[in-house]
């Protein structure tokens, strides 16, 4: 993989993983449209690793406090987190549905579900879901008030993100709004809940690469570039998006998803027509 392709795809990953527009959809469509090699499993793991590092960078203090409190330690100074010492276990429970779905349907997600018609349809469907959630949003719930029901419902929604075009952040933030969260709280909960799932995917991929003999020599530099760039830019995008949600709605992302979904379906029809 040429370095410039690794740079472009890492930037796309950093932007689309945390903004509710579907990273998987973009990382399937863009290389296909440009005729690029997507880097396969190796580069996919690089991007997952970068995404994980971005979350750890931004939420490091939160995770230290969440884990410490979950283990019964009096640690950290965030009053919102301190008011809910069970958050660690809420994230554990909320991560179970995604783990189960990943094990059962992981192979389909990497093969038959990478269909442009499916991706375009999910972009539109979840865009409409986000629009309805935005219209219904009147909540004021903070992390201090999150309970078991919230973790189970949002965690179940997160499992749907295995389908390309869905968007982990899009489906979980929208579900959080339906549960009465503020926009910023829904996004924070989404990113924190996504941490175990992203870590699990990265670790599984790393093990698969190890079994296959490690990273090929020609992929080592793209791997490094993809990891570092998606990590640094990802942390910046998290900071921007959380600040954005304090005063603005999800509607620009709704419009983007619907327009992009229509374009993807049109491309799918074009490719199929040419193939015939």
- Listed by start position, the domains of the chain span 3-275
Alpha-carbon gap, residue 116 to 48, rounded angstroms: 22
Q: In this predicted model, what pLDDT tens digit does every residue of 169-227 receive, in sequence order?
A: 999 999 999 999 999 999 999 999 999 988 888 787 777 777 777 777 877 888 888 88
Residues 6+ apart with CB under 8 A from 90: 84, 146, 147, 148, 150, 151
- pLDDT grade for 55, boundaries at 50, 70 and 90: very high
Q: In this predicted model, what pLDDT tens digit does every residue of 157-170 receive, in sequence order?
A: 999 988 989 999 99
**Residue reference for tokens 């929208």:** 174
Whether residue 91 is predicted with pLDDT greater than 90 in this model: the reply is yes
Question: What's residue 212's pLDDT?
Answer: 73
Question: What's residue 181's pLDDT?
Answer: 94
> Which of 49, 87, 93 lies closest to 198 in space, CA to CA?
49
Residues 6+ apart with CB under 8 A from 205: 41, 44, 45, 48
Question: What's residue 38's pLDDT?
Answer: 67
Question: What's residue 97's pLDDT?
Answer: 93
Question: What's residue 111's pLDDT?
Answer: 75
Alpha-carbon gap, residue 58 to 63, rounded angstroms: 10
Question: How confident is the model over 30-36, as a mean pLDDT?
Answer: 82
8 Å CB contact between 234 and 19: no
Alpha-carbon gap, residue 64 to 87, rounded angstroms: 12
Number of other residues whose CB lies within 10 A of the CB of residue 98 = 26
Question: What's residue 177's pLDDT?
Answer: 95
Question: What's residue 170's pLDDT?
Answer: 94
Question: How confident is the model over 222-235, as a mean pLDDT?
Answer: 90
Residues of the chain by 3-state class (helix, strand, coil), percent to 5: 80, 0, 20
8 Å CB contact between 97 and 90: no
Residues 6+ apart with CB under 8 A from 108: none
Tell whether the torsion through CA atoms of 33, 39, 40 and 45 is positive or negative. Answer: negative
- Taking the complete model, does pTM exceed 0.75, yes or no? yes
SS3 state at 149: helix
> Which of 145, 52, 50 lies closest to 90 in space, CA to CA?
145
Question: What's residue 41's pLDDT?
Answer: 65
């Amino acid at each position: 993989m040429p370095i410039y392709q690794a740079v472009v795809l890492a930037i796309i990953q950093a932007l689309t993983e945390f903004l509710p527009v579907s990273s998987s959809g973009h990382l399937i469509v863009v290389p296909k449209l440009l005729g690029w090699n997507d880097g396969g499993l190796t580069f996919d793991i690089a991007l997952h690793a970068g995404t994980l590092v971005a979350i750890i960078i931004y939420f490091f203090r939160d995770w230290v406090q969440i884990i410490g409190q979950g283990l019964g330690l009096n640690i950290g100074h965030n009053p919102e987190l301190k008011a809910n010492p069970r958050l660690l276990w809420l994230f554990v429970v909320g991560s179970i549905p995604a783990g189960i779905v990943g094990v059962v349907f992981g192979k389909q997600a990497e093969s038959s579900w990478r269909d442009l018609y499916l991706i375009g349809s999910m972009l539109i469907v979840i865009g409409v879901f986000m629009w309805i959630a935005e219209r219904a949003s009147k909540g004021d719930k903070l992390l201090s008030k999150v309970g078991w029901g919230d973790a189970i419902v949002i965690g179940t929604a997160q499992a749907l993100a295995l389908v390309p075009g869905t968007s982990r952040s899009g489906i979980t933030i929208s579900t959080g709004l339906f549960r009465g969260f503020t926009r910023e709280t829904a996004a924070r909960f989404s990113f924190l809940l996504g941490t175990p799932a992203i870590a699990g995917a990265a670790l599984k991929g790393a093990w698969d690469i190890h079994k296959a003999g490690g990273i090929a020599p020609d992929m080592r530099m793209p791997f490094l570039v993809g990891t570092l760039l998606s990590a640094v830019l990802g942390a910046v995008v998290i900071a921007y998006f959380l600040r954005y949600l304090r005063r603005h709605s999800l509607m620009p992302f709704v419009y983007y998803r619907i327009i992009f979904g229509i374009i993807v379906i049109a491309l799918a029809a074009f490719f199929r027509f040419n193939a015939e």
